[in-house]
Structure 1
Amino acid sequence: MKRRTAWLPTIALVLGALYCVVPTVWILVAATKSKAELFSTSTYLPSTGLFENLGDLSAYSGGIFWQWMLNSFLYAAVGGVLASFVSAAAGYALAKYEFRGRRLLFNTILAGVLLPQIVLAIPQYLLLSKIGLTDSYLGVLLPQLFNPYGIYLCRIYAAASVPDALLEAGRLDGASEFTLFRTVGLRLMGPGLVTVFLLQFIAIWNNFLLPFVLVTSEDKFPLTVGLYSLLRHGAAEASLYSLVITGTLLSIIPVIALFLSLQRYWKIDLVTGAVR
């Protein structure tokens, strides 16, 4: 009975891994097929049309795909950095300062975690349209700066990793509150900020609804909206499906590269924390 029970988590893990890996393998294989081979050859049989698809994708509409890629990187990188700083400041304040309404404010932020983004898209659009920020880079970036889940993580991490005694020592030495936050808080919250940045980068990179509602100019599209418009055109021109699949393959490369590059910081910080 115990042996049979031990197999259940393993089976669940294998099924979960297959659920994640199989679509990725399909995209990788399908991107190697030419337009004629995409629907006429075996599903998981690779071909040699990858470079042809890359050339066609780069040539499509004057290379607009790379503009979409650049836009997504701009939205995700700038939004991720700014959102991480805002989350760090808010979480640090909630963890280290006593003020009236702190618990109510924190509970309100927690309630924001439960709200799906689709509910906020239309109100955000109406607010941004009032101040003339629709169809602009800034209009896409501003709603991404406040991340309730990031604030929650930073609040928990600041409470656990930033000692009150260290802050008091800094105040006795004459350091301002902003100096303490910049030199002590941000440094000790480093591992948490890496996590917040990664989560926010991926969320903005994969964000579709808000840019779809806000942006009307094709040269300001992120990859998600750009590939959707390409897919929609593919309903009338089946040859564009190969370009959509190739673009989808290229779109996951920056996320994988970011995850692998930031992984070492988690390991370093965990080792450093153990040494402390």
Structure 2
Amino acid sequence: MTLTQPRKDPVRAQTLAAVNPTGSSAAHRRSRASKIIVTGILVVAALYFLIPVYWVVVAATKSTEDLFSTFGFWFGSDVHLLENLGQVLAYDGGIFVRWFLNSILYAGVGAVLATYFAAAGGYALAKYRFRGRDLVFGTILGGVLVPATATALPLFLLFSQLGLANTYWSVLIPSLVSPFGLFLCRIYADATVDDSLMEAARLDGAGELRIFHTVGLRILTPALVTVFLFQLVGIWNNYFLPLVMLADQSLYPITLGLNNWRAQVDRLPEFYELTTGGVLLSVIPLAIAMIVLQRFWRGGLTEGAVK
């Protein structure tokens, strides 16, 4: 004897809903309230991040007098944006342009190479079995817990002995290591890169390096974009390491140069205009990188190819 579940009657369900609408209306109110709360939290978070950027834009349009005599979150009587940016780019023979290019070199090259090395290391730790793998991963994971400021002075002493202090290499080489990036790539590769894809590539005659570059990197695209952006923002905003390593002003990144300008505002008030204009120009590359790369977070090209 088989038991069958009674079939649901849609007419009866509609009748019951019409007779007792309290349950459905209460659920609708709870859903609407939760949406309002979540939207409100997101709005507050967006304002928290956007208000400082808005203030920088407004401040960059003001003269030194308007910066202190007018309301901080609104424009002054005259807009001096083009004049301020022109002064920033022309001051001291265009030293700001040199700082800007230095930051692009440090952040761009450092972020690309650090992302590649993190992907290669994370992929190897996730997909290959060898003795001491967990020990290596645990040691690297411990590097996530060490703040960068704690390693700045030992790195300076090391680079001084090697003759690399006060050079581009003293800032660029430490930027090539990303323990967090390797940790993220290792976890992501272990979850998304299927062993059957690798075996199929090996059967087709592909070597391990080719499998990594043609299969692994494509699947790791969302993780790579995340690591790249974290590393790009971290290097671009890095202040303490260049402060320790560099003495030549022509080697400064944009953070160290702007702080050098800000330190002179008490003696020369016109440096307020230079500093606010320089800060506005400094955030543009990060905004462009975020807008261009955010679409890659939706997923890799081959993610989900194997079920």
**For the Cα contact (< 8 Å) 2:192–2:303, is it kept in 1?**
no
Unaligned runs of 5+ in 2: 1-29
**For the Cα contact (< 8 Å) 1:34–1:52, is it kept in 2?**
no
Q: Which has the larger radius of gyration?
A: 2
TM-score, normalised to structure 2, is 0.83
Q: Which segment drifts farther, 89-98 or 176-185?
A: 176-185
TM-score, normalised to structure 1, is 0.92
Shift of 1:30: 0.6
User: For residue 219 of structure 2, what is the aligned residue in structure 1?
Assistant: 188
Q: Which amino acid aligns with 1:232?
A: A
User: What's the CA shift string for 1:91-118, capped at 9, x where partnerless?
Assistant: 0110011111111111122221122111
Taking structure 1 as reference, are residues 273 and 177 closer, same or farther at Cα in structure 2, changes over 3 Å only?
A: closer
**Residue of structure 2 aligned with 1:251, choices 253, 265, 282:** 282
**For the Cα contact (< 8 Å) 2:171–2:242, is it kept in 1?**
yes
Matches within 5 A, 1:1-276: 6=34, 9-47=38-76, 48-267=79-298, 269=299, 273=303
Task: Give the share of equivalent positions with the same residue, in percent.
Answer: 49
Whole-Å separation in 2 of the counterparts to 1:101 and 1:271 = 32
**For the Cα contact (< 8 Å) 1:135–1:216, is it kept in 2?**
yes
1:165 is paired with a residue of what secondary structure? helix
Whole-Å separation in 1 of the counterparts to 2:74 and 2:196 = 62
Shift of 1:271: 7.6
Unaligned runs of 5+ in 1: none
Give the number of the structure with larger relative contact order, counting CA–CA contacts within 8 Å between residues 6 or more apart.
1
Whole-Å separation in 1 of the counterparts to 2:268 and 2:81 = 19
Q: Which amino acid aligns with 1:168?
A: E
Shift of 1:128: 1.4
**For the Cα contact (< 8 Å) 1:92–1:185, is it kept in 2?**
yes
User: For residue 6 of structure 2, what is the aligned residue in structure 1?
Assistant: none
Whole-Å separation in 1 of the counterparts to 2:72 and 2:222 = 41
Shift of 1:4: 12
Taking structure 1 as reference, are residues 231 and 146 closer, same or farther at Cα in structure 2, changes over 3 Å only?
A: same
Q: Which amino acid aligns with 2:48?
A: Y
Shift of 1:8: 5.6
Shift of 1:217: 0.8
Shift of 1:40: 1.4
1:109 is paired with a residue of what secondary structure? helix
Q: Cα RMSD between the aligned structures?
A: 2.1
Q: Which segment drifts farther, 113-122 or 253-262?
A: 113-122
Q: Which segment drifts farther, 45-54 or 79-88?
A: 45-54
Q: What is the aligned residue count?
A: 275
Shift of 1:243: 0.8
1:36 is paired with a residue of what secondary structure? helix
Taking structure 1 as reference, are residues 169 and 14 closer, same or farther at Cα in structure 2, changes over 3 Å only?
A: closer
Whole-Å separation in 2 of the counterparts to 1:51 and 1:127 = 44
